[in-house]
Structure 1
Amino acid sequence: MSGMIQTISPVDGRTYVSRPLADHGAIEAALLRASGAAYMWAATPLPERLARLTALVDAMVAMAGEIGPELTWQMGRPVSQTPGEVRGFEERARYMIGLAPQALAPVDPGPKEGFIRAVKRVPLGVVAVVAPWNYPYLTAVNAVVPALAAGNVVILKHSHQTPLVADRFQAAADAAGLPPGVFQHLDLSHADTARLIGDRRIAHVCFTGSVAGGHAVVQAMEGGFGTAGLELGGKDPAYVRADANLAHAIENIADGIFFNSGQSCCGIERVYVHDSLYDAFVEGVVAFAKGYRLGDPTDPATNLGPMVRTSSAEFVRAQVAEAVAQGARALIDPRHFAADRPGTPYLAPQVVVDVDHSMRLMTEETFGPVAGIMRVASDEAAIELMNDSAYGLTAAIWTSDVEAAESIGDRLETGTVFMNRCDYLDPALAWTGVKDTGRGATLSRVGYEHLTRPKSFHLRSKI
């Protein structure tokens, strides 16, 4: 026996899932099945692969009524919001399936007398997907469906906080008739996850998690030449220009800060507001935050649930308290929310002002329902502050000037530039980051390039 999963529900602290972790024999068996299935699945015609994956998506959507409440109990997002997870899963999966024939088509370099030439996109082989709990279907689908569409086979290791998500993926794959070994999932310890991804039979790893976790993935793979795509978090900024639609900016940015209790890699964690709008913006965001109903996430009237665990909530409380001790002001009295209780994962939303970049609240990933807001006098000041970060996942600009947004965006060190929106993945665009946010890309045609390798055909047709 190699240990047990113990999923503690943030809703009420009870053990929601308990089961054994896979042992070394189970890991080896999974690798053997995957390796054995890889050639067969790669040789399966693309239309047949895509038909199977469409059936997988259909099967997952059919389970949506069970998935929503189940997800609430695992990670605490309100049941009024968890159905959006399956809708997002479906949007991304169907888009990537539809894109596959174009994205995987051979590249024709043009005619050359006496030769037939092409660059084909061929699968890598066995792909390991290591997925987190905060958006457990959405982060996993970014890799699982396109990897399978491209002809790879997949082993999914999901977070111990959301193990039932992997079960749902497996059930959908089985219902769709994917051949044995093409899709598998394993419940693994950290040590055995490292052992899996360090195995030379693993050709590629898709990992979403912490910076420390990304370093562990790279270290585990250093003995071979497998590749890795790493999405490692962020400290995503928003900038409200003087010409922004103030009401829209307030509502949009507040949702970007507080949705999912702030537990989003691309959630807004720091806001820079032009001096002319600053006071009104702060007042509006505070009012918006006070309108949340924090409480039992199984109650349909709740729109702000607990954080995933008590230690996470205490980290956020400590980060805010430290900023206040350094001269910042927290504008929301937690007593406004009866459900906020220190020592529990139930945490009130917070807005902090009089902050600067000497404070961890403005530089270190918070991953909670709080943001610091700073006053700026110009685009130049905002750009400098937005780039003053170890991370670079997304950056959002609120303005009525498209040219200004694009010009500012060109100077930002980030993977995605938003204008007048935030916290959203468009499957037609590459999802990527810079600096400590990681490397590689998922979604879009670019995502397929990371899940395949080029193979050149140089055929002399006349001799």
Structure 2
Amino acid sequence: MQSVDPATETRIDSFDRHDAAAVEKRLDRAQRGFETWRERSITDRQALLAGVSDVLEANESEYARTMTAEMGKPIEQARAEVQKCARVCEYYAEQAGTFLQDDRVAVEPGAKTFVAYEPLGPVLAVMPWNYPFWQVFRFAAPALAAGNVCLLKHAPNVQGCAEAIADVFEAAGFPEYALQTLRVADETVADVIADDRVRAVTLTGSVAAGRAVASEAGAQLKKTVLELGGSDPFVVLDDADLERAATVGCQSRTYNTGQSCIAAKRFVVHTDVYDEFVDRLRTEMAALTVGDPTDEETDVGPMARADLRDDLHDQVERSVAAGATVELGGEPLDRDGYFYQPTILTDVPTDAPAATEELFGPVAAVFEVESEAAAVALANDTEYGLGATVWTNDRGRGEAVAREIEAGCVFVNEFVTSHLELPFGGIKNSGYGRELAGEGIREFVNRKSVWVSDP
């Protein structure tokens, strides 16, 4: 497994895969450790999580540099990611006990009836490269607080991040078995899922990866949570604040170099404001600074791998061949590194790749619609259902439209992102299950109903 700097195309480091004996050792350690960890008090687990937050804050710059080097995230955004990881640890350090306390349920006089929330065991996490710290911490913090232990199979190109994350937990005082890395090939994941010691699986990644993991876990009757792709609509109605919508739309499409499941990808714009919005969006995206991700002034860095850049360009070219118009960009940058120009496509046919496929990079596809009803219909005309945005100066109208859109989260007049206090996840081909908030910590527990009567 090699880490390659996507800005310079130079090798950073290499990591040996774990052989069968090493995997066996980690699985055995996880199972044995779980029996001890589950008995630790919730207050102990919360205190250790608070310590993880401290470690992250103390070493923020170091971890940010690791992310930027391995997957090209602009350094300011990398620091923000470390900060968010610290906040999620603080959040569950404060709230886990409340979320996991027994729920008393009155059924019959004289009987004590309640629901207890108990850990499942070792949970395998198959994690992606695009948010190499955040995706892990938003799972691991609640899972560990609930009394589970974690096995982390990270993306091959961010193994430095994976090892750094394991070091964070160790530095905070977590036992070695609490979070272990598994450096294994994708084809080995099925064997790990099938192992009796693994009790559940969570995956953030592509639809194809989600189907494979869900199929294997389903065959073993094991719980899964899947957070998959997205083709989020960004709906601009005829009464929207166009200046703010264009500013936020640009940010939402290009943050993390557009490599985000909840990025705005399909801009659905009412015909009355279409021309002005496209002009404003073009101005915003043309002003972005593309370049060295270690430079504080950089807005858009390289894509994480050469194949990702090439696949994105292929989607753009096929969309243009189908009839789309390039309003801005449309080409890789002629320089070292895996850079792609911020791009705007208009006149996109509804059967073109820019309409039907997820564009995982800084390319915005803009669609013109004649009515609110047409906007909702186009927003829902996708296999995905992760996030969505609605822009209007009428709060009541915005809420009404939000209720009509098929997605796991809809934001009105706001940037779509995950919040600690709100459950996060999708529907349709964007996956199932929820992360964060109380719903997230209760995904990997046994909701045990208990009835106690007098003898």
Paired residue for 1:202, among 176, 198, 218?
Answer: 198
**Whole-Å separation in 2 of the counterparts to 1:349 and 1:370:** 6
Paired residue for 1:259, among 255, 262, 271?
Answer: 255
Cα shift at 1:401: 1.7
Kept in 2, the 8 Å contact 1:106–1:119? The answer is yes
For residues 209-250 of structure 1, what are the alpha-carbon distances to aligned partners after superposition, in whole Å with 9 as ceiling and x for unaligned? 011101111232244221110111111111011111111100
Paired residue for 1:415, among 408, 415, 426?
Answer: 408
Q: Which residue of 2 aligns with 1:33?
A: 29
TM-score scaled by length of structure 2: 0.97
In the TM superposition, 1:345-364 aligns within 5 A as 345-364=338-357
Kept in 1, the 8 Å contact 2:92–2:142? The answer is yes
**Whole-Å separation in 2 of the counterparts to 1:140 and 1:71:** 13
Q: Does 1:123 align with 2:123?
A: no
**Whole-Å separation in 2 of the counterparts to 1:236 and 1:397:** 11
Q: Does 1:102 align with 2:98?
A: yes
**Whole-Å separation in 2 of the counterparts to 1:205 and 1:56:** 23
Q: Which residue of 1 aligns with 2:66?
A: 70
For residues 282-331 of structure 1, what are the alpha-carbon distances to aligned partners after superposition, in whole Å with 9 as ceiling and x for unaligned? 00111111111111212222221111112211212121122222221101
Q: Which residue of 2 aligns with 1:430?
A: 423
1:392 match: secondary structure? coil
Q: Does 1:286 align with 2:287?
A: no
Cα shift at 1:434: 0.6
Q: Which amino acid aligns with 1:363?
A: T
Q: Which residue of 2 aligns with 1:270?
A: 266
Kept in 1, the 8 Å contact 2:68–2:78? The answer is yes
Q: Which runs of 5+ in 1 are unaligned?
A: none
Q: Which residue of 2 aligns with 1:182?
A: 178
Q: How many residues align?
A: 455
Q: Which amino acid aligns with 1:66?
A: E
**Whole-Å separation in 1 of the counterparts to 2:204 and 2:266:** 22
In the TM superposition, 1:148-167 aligns within 5 A as 148-167=144-163
Cα shift at 1:173: 1.3
Aligned structure 1 segments of 4 or more residues deviating by more than 6 angstroms: none
Cα shift at 1:165: 1.7
Q: Which residue of 1 aligns with 2:375?
A: 382
Kept in 2, the 8 Å contact 1:330–1:351? The answer is yes
1:34 match: secondary structure? helix
Q: Which residue of 1 aligns with 2:2?
A: 6
For residues 125-160 of structure 1, what are the alpha-carbon distances to aligned partners after superposition, in whole Å with 9 as ceiling and x for unaligned? 111111111011111111101000001011111111
Q: Does 1:18 align with 2:14?
A: yes
1:136 match: secondary structure? coil
Cα shift at 1:107: 0.8
Cα shift at 1:436: 0.7
1:371 match: secondary structure? strand
Q: Which amino acid aligns with 2:149?
A: V
Paired residue for 1:134, among 130, 145, 148?
Answer: 130
Paired residue for 1:399, among 392, 396, 409?
Answer: 392
Cα shift at 1:52: 0.9
Kept in 2, the 8 Å contact 1:334–1:340? The answer is no
1:43 match: secondary structure? coil
Cα shift at 1:180: 3.3
Q: Which amino acid aligns with 2:452?
A: L
**Whole-Å separation in 1 of the counterparts to 2:106 and 2:114:** 9
For residues 256-291 of structure 1, what are the alpha-carbon distances to aligned partners after superposition, in whole Å with 9 as ceiling and x for unaligned? 111111100000111011112111110011111111
399-408 vs 65-74, greater mean Cα deviation: 399-408
**Whole-Å separation in 2 of the counterparts to 1:180 and 1:251:** 45
TM-score scaled by length of structure 1: 0.95
**Whole-Å separation in 2 of the counterparts to 1:356 and 1:93:** 44
2:230 match: secondary structure? coil
Q: What's the Cα RMSD here?
A: 1.6
227-236 vs 291-300, greater mean Cα deviation: 291-300
**Whole-Å separation in 2 of the counterparts to 1:383 and 1:91:** 35
2:15 match: secondary structure? strand
**Whole-Å separation in 2 of the counterparts to 1:161 and 1:423:** 27
Alpha-carbon distance change, 451 to 257 in structure 1, aligned in 2, over 3 angstroms: same
Cα shift at 1:203: 1.0
Q: Which residue of 2 aligns with 1:332?
A: 328
Q: Percent identity?
A: 33
Q: Which residue of 2 aligns with 1:320?
A: 316
**Whole-Å separation in 1 of the counterparts to 2:383 and 2:376:** 14
Q: Which residue of 2 aligns with 1:439?
A: 432
